[in-house]
Amino acid sequence: MTPPPSSEWPGAEIVDGVAFQGNGGITIEAGESGLPVLAFWRPILFREDTTKPVAGRMDCRIVAADGFFSEADFDPDARHASVADTRSQQGYRDQDRLRDYSDTMRQLDVVGRRPREREHYVLSYILVRDGERLIDIRRNCTFIYGSSIATIDPLPYVYRYTKITYAFEPNTGEEG
């Protein structure tokens, strides 16, 4: 299943100069904080390369905010640590953390599952420095499926079906 080119995907701006696109259905909701929240979903075919594929669903919620840059706020590990205990009490079991860090962008993808709910998740903290501006993006994708599947690798699906684009060069404050 190869998705169409991302230029054909629906999308919306989530904060000035940052857009989210997804190969699936997108709706915009008003979040509790007053920021717009993009909801994204699409059907997923797990185990595509077998004679018995298993169908499921990918649901994502994306929100972004921007403010002034500070080195203390440019730490996705600290942001996740501040909510990790609460998430654990809610049944979330983190299994892996993948980091992509540079001077202008830091991304932490937390991959895990909720065994009782038969779902896997990828919680992404994406922090982008644009001069004196810090853009904070949260992408939370869950993968829901039936009892016929025990485990999946959800991260490739996030990268296959969602995209975040920037209308500037990070850390320059200039439009790209």
Closest listed residue to residue 91, CA positions, set 142, 42, 57: 142
Task: Say yes or no to pLDDT of 9 above 80.
Answer: no
* Domains defined for the chain, CATH in brackets: 6-166 (3.40.1000)
Overall average pLDDT of the 7-29 stretch: 84
Q: Which residues contact residue 7 at a Cβ distance below 8 angstroms, ignoring those fewer than 6 apart?
A: none
Say whether 73 sits in a helix, a strand or coil.
coil
- Do the beta carbons of residue 66 and residue 134 sit within 8 Å? yes
pLDDT for 176 equals: 44
pLDDT for 8 equals: 73
Q: In what order do the strands lie in the sheet with 18-22?
A: 11-15, 18-22, 162-166
Q: What percentage of the chain exceeds 90 in pLDDT?
A: 48
Phi, psi of 77, deg, nearest 5: -65, -40
Tokens read off for 62:
């994306």
pLDDT for 3 equals: 58
Q: What is the CB-side half-sphere exposure of residue 155 using CA atoms within 13 A?
A: 12
Overall average pLDDT of the 50-78 stretch: 88
Lowest mean pLDDT of 88-102, 103-117, 137-151, name the range: 137-151
Overall average pLDDT of the 100-117 stretch: 91
> What's the mean pLDDT when you consider all of the chain?
85
Overall average pLDDT of the 10-33 stretch: 84
Phi, psi of 82, deg, nearest 5: -70, -20
pLDDT for 23 equals: 87
**Between 84 and 2, where is the model more confident?**
84
Q: What is the pTM of this model?
A: 0.87
Residues 121-132: tens digit of each pLDDT: 999 999 999 889
Task: Say yes or no to pLDDT of 174 above 60.
Answer: no
